[in-house]
Structure 1
Amino acid sequence: MSIENRISIKVDGAKREAIETNLNGLKTELSTLLIALSAAEKKDLPKIGEHYMDFVDRAFEGAEKNPELVPPYLKLDEVKVDMEAWKLLHAIERDLERLVSLLGDTATLSGSESYSSMLSFYNFLKQAAKDGVPNAKPLYNSLKHYFPGTGNKSNANKTEEE
């Protein structure tokens, strides 16, 4: 039986260091811009998506062209700053979401392949231990605690007694 190997990523020290440096740089640059909201704060805020940004843009344009209609408590300069910030942060968020999705998929596949391979080895080792292959039983015994409750009680007791 052959296990399909769909991924093989080797990251040397220089590449790892470059990734960490860039990630730290991104964190540093964004940390001065970002705030954290509680779940309650998020829940209470009106949400904007791309479909409402068109409304915001058109309404803002109308407010700029008709300043006599703008209530005195609205500061259009601040609205413009918030609009531009949202556009920039939303674009960064979309890029990062795509990157995080690819990162998650790649990590999932890497982890799945290593787990599947070692599960195959473990099952082979289990049989080798039953067959009395030298050195198989101690290694099998050191790994079997990762799978508690597998097999029936009589087999578990029998294996422990051997």
Structure 2
Amino acid sequence: MARAKNLISAALTAENITKTKTHIGEIETELPFLIALPAEEKRRMNAMGQKSVEYVNLALTGAESFPQYLLPSFKKDEFKKDVTLIRDLQGIRTSVASLLEKLDDTIYGASVDAMQAANEVYDYLKTAGEKDAAVKALVSEMRKRYDHKDKKPADPNKPADPKKPADPKKPDTPKKPGTGGDPDIHLPEE
């Protein structure tokens, strides 16, 4: 069995890891105002999305051009500060998102390489296991990765689950291309 091309060949030293984590800590120190909102709280809020950027910018222009029509309690300077912060953080976020995507792809590539190597070792050891009991025991443990429990036969009297596709070979939602169906690692969806 010919092994496919190695996608990544790299190693991190303890010093690399420490320096990287230190730099990440320095970034967080430079941005001490960053917050983490619970998902439930975010769902209850009305936040600016891509479609609202122009609306918010026009509102800021209106607040700056016609302050006489705003209530005295309206904090125009805070509004402008928020809009500027959004713009500035978006630039930083783009760089961080690009880095995160590279980290995810590198982890994925290394996991592909590791699975290919593991499958190759498994194939070699299967043959050796015919002559060596210790190898045979290891191969038996490795085989569990691919063992699938038999499913119970469907009850013909039970109505079909509307959430499940009629044909399991044709799911209602397409799989992400290149995932191979049953990946060992799960990366964030795009």
For 1:37, the equivalent position in structure 2 comes to: 37
For 1:119, the equivalent position in structure 2 comes to: 119
Q: CA deviation at 1:109?
A: 0.5
For 2:29, the equivalent position in structure 1 comes to: 28
For 1:159, the equivalent position in structure 2 comes to: none
For 1:10, the equivalent position in structure 2 comes to: 11
Counterpart of 2:102, as a letter, is L
Is the CA contact 1:3–1:117 (under 8 Å) kept in the aligned structure 2?
no
1:89-116 CA-to-partner distances (Å, cap 9, x unmatched) read 2322232222211110111011111121
Whole-Å separation in 2 of the counterparts to 1:43 and 1:134: 57
Q: CA deviation at 1:138?
A: 4.3
For 2:135, the equivalent position in structure 1 comes to: 136
Whole-Å separation in 2 of the counterparts to 1:20 and 1:37: 23
- Percent identity between the aligned chains? 26
Counterpart of 1:70, as a letter, is L
Which structure has the larger Rg? 1
Q: Give structure 2 stretches of 5+ with no counterpart.
A: 150-190
| Moved segments of 4+, more than 6 Å | none
**TM-score under structure 1 length normalisation:** 0.76
Determine which structure has the larger helix proportion and give its number: 1
1:36-93 CA-to-partner distances (Å, cap 9, x unmatched) read 2222321122221344223222221222121111123321011112112222223222
Counterpart of 2:5, as a letter, is E
Counterpart of 2:84, as a letter, is E
Q: 1:20 to 1:38 in 2, by over 3 A?
A: closer
Q: Give structure 1 stretches of 5+ with no counterpart.
A: 151-162
* Count of residue pairs brought into register by the alignment: 148
Counterpart of 2:53, as a letter, is M
Is the CA contact 2:129–2:135 (under 8 Å) kept in the aligned structure 1?
yes
Whole-Å separation in 1 of the counterparts to 2:26 and 2:136: 49
For 1:78, the equivalent position in structure 2 comes to: 78
